[in-house]
Amino acid sequence: MDHQAYQDLVEKINRISDYVFKKEVAPLLEPEIWLTSEELADLLKISTRTLQRMRKERVIPFCMIRSKCLYRLSDVEKCIAQRIVTCNPKTLDEFRKGYWTTHETLSL
């Protein structure tokens, strides 16, 4: 293999590596969406009491911040994917779009 072919090959490998690295890092850059109990209950079409029971039984992950229960949307999506809880995927997509629409407007 001559020197020029080797350099071309190394350059292509570096570009592939950069592309893969960007794909792995990109999802981490998106800020996490946190839901209140009321938002999550509305999203899942359940009562807040049912949500409280799910917390007590450790069915759904949550975090207590200043005596307020918050839920990461990514955790909720995992529970839905594992069929621990049910939710219409269309409803979930609509919530995500609505969330970013209102929060982008607020930050402007």
Residue 105: pLDDT band with limits 50, 70, 90: very low
DSSP string, 36-76: EHHHHHHHHT--HHHHHHHHHTT-S--EEETTEEEEEHHHH
Taking 60 as the threshold, does the pLDDT of residue 1 lie above it?
yes
- The pLDDT assigned to 93 comes to 73
- Structure tokens, 80: 């839905």
Taking 70 as the threshold, does the pLDDT of residue 36 lie above it?
yes
Contact 75, 92 (CB under 8 A): no
Residue 25: pLDDT band with limits 50, 70, 90: low
